[in-house]
Structure 1
Amino acid sequence: MLSDRRVFRDDWLPRRLEHREQPTEKLFSRLSSISRGYTDNDVLIHGPSGVGKTTLARHCLTRYQEEAALNVAKIRCLGKTTGGILLRALEQLPVDGDVHRALSIDERKQRLRSLEGPAVLLLDEADDLHETEVLQAVERAPGVAAIVIIHDLEEWLVRHEADQVGGEPWHSRNQIELTRYGVDELADILEPRAQQGLPPQAWDRSTLERVADKAAGAARRGIQTLRYAAVVAGEQEAREISDRHIEIGRERARDEIRKANLNSLPYHHQVLYALIQEAGAGGIDAGALHNRYDEVTDDVYTTDSHPISKRSRRNKLQKLRDYDLINRIGDGGGVRYVPLDPDLESPVDPLGDVGQGATPE
């Protein structure tokens, strides 16, 4: 039943972002200022998972580069150190000299400061940054501005309230908040995908509204629910997508999104998830989790990778929550972490031979 699978991919960009006119206009305004040399227009984009934060940034950057010259480096911060992020930036920007891993942190910062012409660093999944050294490096590079994407603004403020960049808290700069969509809004987002990707007899506007109602305001969840509802209808040789197809599609979409989210996470996140999933549906107390982590470090880390601190673990546990993989129950000394799908296994085995897993940069 899927006539064009591309429109259901996460990286498919429509020419126009429905119901994001104000954020689009604001970000275009910031990009215009940056391209004119006003690189103090850093932007913080925040909102829950699935509402299109990365899509907004990619859409605006792609469209702006069609009209004006602007150097852009796109970096997913998960699992990367300050040095790794700077290296990825230099690899994508027109800097002088060779770029290689042998460059020290200070040399990488100097290369960034020597960049001629305006540039933007898109720092996606920046919640994983446990320090602001990268933001400070951008602040001190006269030709560079940052677009920073995070999930939870309150969590970000708590973690960085003491950090000062350029004499003021970085989070006091330009902010763009994206909230969840309403049913009608999400149906509008689904419509061009349905028009291009599905047979016309398989759906109507009410079909899209019913899909949107199941998606809890998250565009990604709605798009994937529609996709899998169509797959289920095709499997059953149906001509139209029914309510039953939508319900099964919602469950498949939820499971596939969780699996994709887990597989996309770096090694440390996967180890922590494996320990929580290992504990079963009842989950594990926070203290017991940290103790268990310390117990298995010799098994899960090699000479090329190292265990992480409790502070860093807490950041990564928050990311697992953002990605709808675990739930946190209680507070204070009674915190417990519970897997939302106890049958979803981590790509790594915390008790097995996992030395070949991805290592942090």
Structure 2
Amino acid sequence: MITDARVLQQEFIPREVRHRDSEVNYLSSILEAVINGNSTEPTLLYGPSGVGKTCIAQYIVEELRGNVVDLNTQYVNCWEDYTRFKTLYQLLDGIGEAYDIHRQSTPRDLLLDRLRDYDEAPYVVILDEVDQLQNKELLYDLCRMRELTLILIANREEELFSPLDERLHSRLRNANRIHFNQYGHDELVSILRDRARWGLAEDAITASGLQQIAERAAGDARVAIGILRKAARTANQNGQSRIQSSVIADVVLEAKLEIERETINRLTPHQKTLYNIINEAEEINPPTLYEQYSNLVEDPKTERTVRNYLAKLEHYNLIIAEGNTKARVYRARS
């Protein structure tokens, strides 16, 4: 039944994108300056999880590489590479300059100096989950490098800009902004239809099956593709030639749990500590949460940083926040 498993993976970049024409055209127009050898202001892509921000950014950059002979590109997930060293290492690796860098012995300033010295082909960098950068000062340094074209991806502007000092805030004030809205039901069905056409045998799933998946995904393409993948694998294991409605209904919860586990595994140590505290409590208010968190970690972050961490957990449906600022409580979702 599964003819191309890659198509059913979240990181797969489709050969064509659906229902994001205005976003694609806007980002393409911004990056035309790179093709002409000019620099451009950073571009911020923002919106909820599962709305195609990362997919569109990588799709456009791949298109750009097809049109420009001499171009370097690099994708960095700042949730995984959240320290200054890790981010700089990835950026240097993208231009083949990380071969002699060692985590323990290489001076940190050397990495930034080496990146500053880069003056060859244009370099387009995607910083995904950019609000997760531990040291936001690095953004200021990167924004000053004319050879770098930055595409920044975050869920909300506030989570990126609120922790910034005035100097960096001013630097990013003129950034290009592209907002991504949640997918509608019919748009999700269209996206799923493409994935089924590219990755599954013909007639492996009916139109009503795609409708059923889109309904359960509630506008999140990441969840929709996860359900389709899980349903296809389950039907395959059961020796079925088509994905039945009953199979879809049976795998929805498990598919969502898989995505939840993947997200939990990506949490930083501080975020995981906060998540564990909330998960063990029936409900907890911010002062008590911060006190328990501070007692469990060696170098607790500020309350403002912790609020940003909690907003991240909420965006990815790991926790539930109820009430306003003064009467807020946090609860585990599951």
**TM-score normalised to structure 2 length:** 0.89
Q: Distance in 1 between matches of 2:302 and 2:228?
A: 41
Q: Which residue of 2 aligns with 1:17?
A: 17
Tell me the equivalent position of 1:346: none
- After superposition, give the CA deviation of every residue in 1:56-98 in whole Å (9 maximum; x if it has no partner): 1111212221221221222111262334322321232245994
| Equivalence for 1:27 | 27
The alpha carbon displacement at 1:325 in A equals 0.5
1:95-145 residue CA offsets vs partner (Å, 9 max, x unmatched) = 599434444444333222211132122111112236531221122212112
Q: Report the secondary structure of 2:125's partner residue.
A: strand
Q: 1:110 to 1:97 in 2, by over 3 A?
A: farther
Q: For the residues of structure 1 that align with 2:263 and 2:238, how far apart are their CA atoms?
A: 28
- Whether contact under 8 Å (1:51, 1:179) holds in the other structure is yes
Distance 1:140 1:159 in 2: 19
Distance 1:96 1:86, change over 3 A: closer
**Hey, what does 1:253 align to over in structure 2?**
255
Task: Give the match for residue 243 of structure 1.
Answer: 245
Name structure 1 gaps, 5 residues minimum. Answer: 342-361
Amino acid of the structure 1 residue aligned with 2:78? C
Aligned to 2:125: 121
Q: Give the alignment's TM-score, normalised by structure 1.
A: 0.82
1:144-174, Cα deviation, whole Å (9 max, x unpaired): 12110000124434444x5334x94514321
CA distance in 1, matches of 2:263, 2:136: 25
Alignment equivalent of 1:145, drawn from 136, 143, 149: 149
On the 8 A contact 2:89/2:98 being kept in 1, the answer is no
Contact 1:227 1:249 in 2 (8 A): no
The equivalent position to 1:110 in structure 2, one of 110, 113, 132, is 113
Contact 2:41 2:174 in 1 (8 A): no
Mean Cα displacement is larger for which, 313-322 or 34-43? 34-43
| Corresponding letter in the other structure for 2:8 | F
Give the CA deviation at 1:334. Answer: 2.1
1:333 aligns with 2:326: yes
Q: Are 1:272 and 1:293, in contact at CA under 8 Å, matched by a contact in 2?
A: yes
Task: Name which of 315, 324, 346 aligns with 2:317.
Answer: 324
The separation in 1 between residues aligned to 2:161 and 2:86, in whole angstroms, is 24
CA distance in 2, matches of 1:71, 1:4: 29
Q: Distance in 2 between matches of 1:54 and 1:247?
A: 28
How far does the alpha carbon of each residue in 1:298-354 deviate from its partner, in whole angstroms, 9 at most, with x for none?
Answer: xxx5xxxx443333322222221121111111222322111111xxxxxxxxxxxxx
Partners of 2:82 and 2:134 within 8 A in 1: no
Instruction: Determine if contact 1:203/1:240 at 8 Å carries over to the other structure.
Output: yes
- Tell me the equivalent position of 2:278: 276
Structure 2 match to 1:358 = none
Which stretch shifts more, 12-21 or 69-78? 69-78
d(CA) in 1 for partners of 2:247 and 2:290? 42
When structure 1 is superposed on structure 2, of 175-184 and 90-99 the one drifting more is 90-99
Partner of 2:166, secondary structure, is coil
SS at match of 1:17: coil
Whole-Å separation in 2 of the counterparts to 1:320 and 1:215: 19
Map of 2:182 onto structure 1: 180
CA contact (8 A) 1:127 1:319 kept: no
Q: Which residue of 2 aligns with 1:197?
A: 199
Identity score, percent: 32
| Structure 2 CA distance for aligned equivalents of residues 125 and 251 of structure 1 | 26
- The DSSP-based 3-state class of the residue aligned with 1:2 is coil
TM alignment of 1:338-357, pairs within 5 A: 338-341=331-334
Which segment drifts farther, 45-54 or 3-12?
A: 3-12
How far apart, CA to CA, are the structure 1 residues paired with 2:314 and 2:50?
13
Equivalent AA in structure 2 for residue 76 of structure 1? N
Structure 2 stretches of 5 or more lacking a match? none
Query: Partner residue of 1:359?
Result: none
